[in-house]
Chains A and B, each alone.
Chain A
Amino acid sequence: MAVSIDPKARNLAPSRRALLQVGAAVGGGLMVGFLAPARAAAPGGSGFAPNAFIRIDRAGKVTLIMPQVEMGQGVYTSISMILAEELDADWAMVAVEHAPPDEKTYANPMLGVQATGNSNSIRAFWTPLRKAGAATRAVLVQAAASGWGADPASLRTEASQVIDDAGGRRIAYGELTGRAAGLTPPADPPLKDPKAFRLIGKPLKRLDTPEKVNGQAKYGIDALPPGCKFATFAHCPVFGGKVARVDDSQARLLPGVRQVVVLDDLVAVVGDHMWAALQGLKALNITWDEGPNAGVSTAQVRERLVAASARKGVVAKSVGDAAKSLSRDAVEVTYDVPFLAHTTMEPMNCTAHVTPTSCEVWTGTQVMGRAQADAARITGLPLDKVIVHQHLLGGGFGRRLEFDPVTKAVRIAQHVDGPVKVVWTREEDIQHDLYRPAWHDRLSARLDGDKIVGWKHVITGSSVLARWLPPAFVDGKDFDAYDSAADMPYDIANFQVEFVREEPPGVPTGFWRGVGPAHNVFVIESFIDELAHKAGKDPVEFRLGMLGKQPRLAAALKLAAEKSGWGGPLPKGVGRGVAVQPSFASWIATVAEAGVDPNGEVKLRRLVCVVDTGIAVNPDTIKAQLQGGLVFGLTAAMFGEITVENGRVQQSNFHDYRMLRINETPPIEVHIIPSGEAPGGIGEAGVVAAMPALANAIFAATGKRLRKLPIDRDVLAGRTST
């Protein structure tokens, strides 16, 4: 199996870490240092395994099986906290193991597939995991009770022990596993009252961070099965193009180059190390058949979006009579946002070993089941002959919801003897992404005094959902495309949201951190800000006036205004902007403070973010996720733009696809509103918050409204007009 984190390791100081030693454990040489050895996936294979998520051995070690992947969002720890809480496990004895590919057993309850995404790991698994923990606890108590001849109701549990206070005795879970295995867990066990939580709500230290600090953590790109060769490759730079001819005569002469693999759409060089592969790739002379997309450009995509937006869209939501309400005195605007790349710090990669009877794959993926299924499809092998070794992910952001790195590696490995690690160059990673779609939005609204009485929002762009989850795309409705738009929080009597599906020619699109809300909330909160200024109202007051039905969001907004010093004096050229969002079942208000200089350069000064996310399983993780998401969103707002010309992406690496860096990052304060409501989602929420808060701050600083991203410094400097 795959990633596994052992309790013994977590407390050792980094300086005592020995050099890693790759173990030849079952399933592949991944398990090193303080990661527990890989073990067979079958539940009950070792120890008491009452359900798919918990295994307890006779020594009392509690192994928790993770249905969701760890890509920095802290989910290995938060999910473990939920299980360990209801189980009353000793937190110091908890070990973590990733679930095997198994769409049935480990499907995400909200998505219906085995996938981590849409900020729902906690919300989707909150009740199922609590029940799994509680049911296991119940059989352990029953086992102790029958061993003692005691009434189970008189016993309690704490730190992996069943305790009989009256009888003055206690017994460890490990000793109960034999008897417990013979009992049937209750289908609907009672869950703890949150007031009794010992773990949930505490900022416990994450289980995965020690190994990420001393170089021991293993990402997909670090897999080194014995005898592994190394490969990199080039696709046709034009989307959808094919290989016409390859002259590899120079490449084959280079030291360390072993073979060149030519497929219909890519050419790979296999060598003794990545350097040989890279040098070999440079030495290839490839003639491409550019195919039908050689004329595609972002200008063309934009033209098509604008034209399509005039069509009648699928109605996502309709209240009252928006058309009538907007038939006079309506303010009409359009907004545009660009294609965006994911650029996870760990470039795409996958190691594969294909034999006539087996396929073994090492990678970090957000979709274990789909990765396995695709490898089986390509090789023609049955599923049980395809092993997928999961790893920690060096960033997901939605890019690893796609299994194309596995597809390519398996196809290449079919031509290679032994395992081959296929690593994408950063250039391939950026130029063959599945991009956040370019969107075109048309909005109109009518004000009556300081209230909005009519609102219409037409969203035009690609449907990622239609491709990624066809069963969810019904009657032309893409709930992600209008997420946070159809459920906009403001109380508006006449309200209509429509979605027009328009696919860009040739350019692949995918889910990008923040998904629908990241685009919709930018547009909505910017337009709301425009309307506030048109009404002559303070942007916070204007919003509060329409949030009567949203007490949680209104409370977050008031606190954000207070903590940020809203309304207080600021130097010339500096402004504050506010944005509110319901997204992923959390309520968030953000205030950004930014300065703009006469050259149009934006200086980020401060961000304050307030969140009501229901029960905060691990408050420190929530703060970290919001801080990090805000940085991700600020990056996109400040610099993010993928452009296409002649069917090719023009950006290629970090020198021309710019990332925010530490010297540009402002202080970011996060405040969590205590709540007893069910937990909301947080992983993507910061991304959504950043863009409109910043755009509104820039307006406050300059009087210039930006209806496009990324921020246009020429417009801010007055070198061009909007």
Chain B
Amino acid sequence: MLTLTINGQAHDVDVPPDMPLLWVLRDVLGLTGSKFGCGIAQCGACTVHVDGAALRSCMLAVGSLGGRAVTTIEAIGATPAGARVQKAWLDLEVVQCGYCQSGQIMSAAALLAATPSPSDSDINAAMAGNICRCGTYPRIRDAIKQAAKAT
């Protein structure tokens, strides 16, 4: 039995310790906001925060988490950076099919929390791991810059 701290709540889960966090979130806890896209940390759709750092939950064994705080897309709006990112996403209509956007927003929120005024190359480095098949990249870039300017 493992105890995980997700979005400020403790959850006891009876799962193998090598089980990736993504499947615990989606299939055991019903938190389906984090998405499955590739399973090999190549697409970023599964991005969550662990103690504020953006990580790919599809390759993150729950046994390695300990008591570290996990934040998912369902709760990122309660953080200052997350709220600014979500507002910019809506203002600029970034989203098309939306499937990748949980991961995009989580990566963007982690970027802004660490780097309040990111340059284009900061954005490239932080966001290159998140694939968008609908091609919303130009608007993602603009929205990050807009969120950075908002206070």
Contacts and interface: CB of A to CB of B under 8 A. Distances in A.
How large, as a class, is the contact surface on chain A?
35 or more
Given A214-B86, A393-B97, A661-B137, A15 B77 contact: yes
Most chain A CB within a 10 A radius of its CB, from B26, B128, B130: B26
Interface string A402-441: 0000000000000000000001011000000000000000
B147 interface: no
Nearest to B45: A345
A210 B130 CA distance: 20
A512 interface: no
Given A224-B32, A345-B43, A208 B19 contact: no
A74 B86 contact: no
A222 B114 CA distance: 31
A213 B137 contact: no
A460 B40 CA distance: 37
A15 B38 contact: no
Given A74-B96, A218-B32, A17 B135 contact: no
B74 to A, nearest CB: 5
Given A224-B30, A274-B27, A215 B102 contact: yes
B86 A273 contact: no
B73 interface: yes
Nearest to A633: B135
Most chain A CB within a 10 A radius of its CB, from B125, B134, B135: B135
A395 B134 CA distance: 7
A218 B102 CA distance: 12
B60 interface: no
B39 interface: yes
Interface in B80-133: 82-83, 86-87, 89-90, 93-102, 105, 123-125, 127-133
Per DSSP, chain B at the interface is loop
B101 A667 contact: no
Interface string A163-188: 00000000000000000000000000
A17 B98 contact: no
A209 B40 CA distance: 27
A627 interface: yes
Contacts of B95: 72, 206, 208-209, 212-213
Given A14-B86, A653-B42, A631 B137 contact: yes
B19 A345 contact: no
Contact of A661 (B73, B89, B105, B128): B128
B19 to A, nearest CB: 5
Nearest to A429: B38
B89 A624 contact: no
B35 A394 contact: yes
Interface in B1-40: 7, 15-16, 19-20, 23-24, 26-28, 30-40
A358 interface: no
A661 B141 CA distance: 12
A7 to B, nearest CB: 16
B133 A665 contact: no
Contacts of B43: 345, 654, 659
B96 A624 contact: yes
Contact of A216 (B16, B28, B33, B97): B33
A106 interface: no
A212 B133 contact: no
Contact of B38 (A213, A272, A426, A660): A426
B66 interface: no
A153 interface: no
A668 B45 CA distance: 24
Contact of B27 (A19, A203, A230): A230
Contacts of B130: 661-662
A461 interface: no
B55 interface: no
A655 B40 contact: yes
A126 interface: no
B136 A628 contact: yes
B150 interface: no
A663 interface: yes
21 contacts: A14-B86, A15-B86, A72-B96, A213-B90, A213-B101, A215-B32, A221-B36, A224-B30, A230-B27, A273-B19, A273-B27, A344-B97, A347-B36, A392-B98, A394-B35, A394-B99, A395-B97, A628-B96, A628-B134, A654-B40, A662-B137
> What are the nearest 5 A-B pairs in CB distance?
A215-B33, A631-B135, A212-B98, A394-B99, A72-B97
Interface of A: 13-17, 19-20, 22, 71-74, 203, 205-206, 208-210, 212-219, 221-222, 224, 230, 255-256, 272-275, 278, 343-347, 392-397, 423, 425-426, 620, 624-625, 627-632, 635, 653-655, 659-663, 665, 667-668, 686
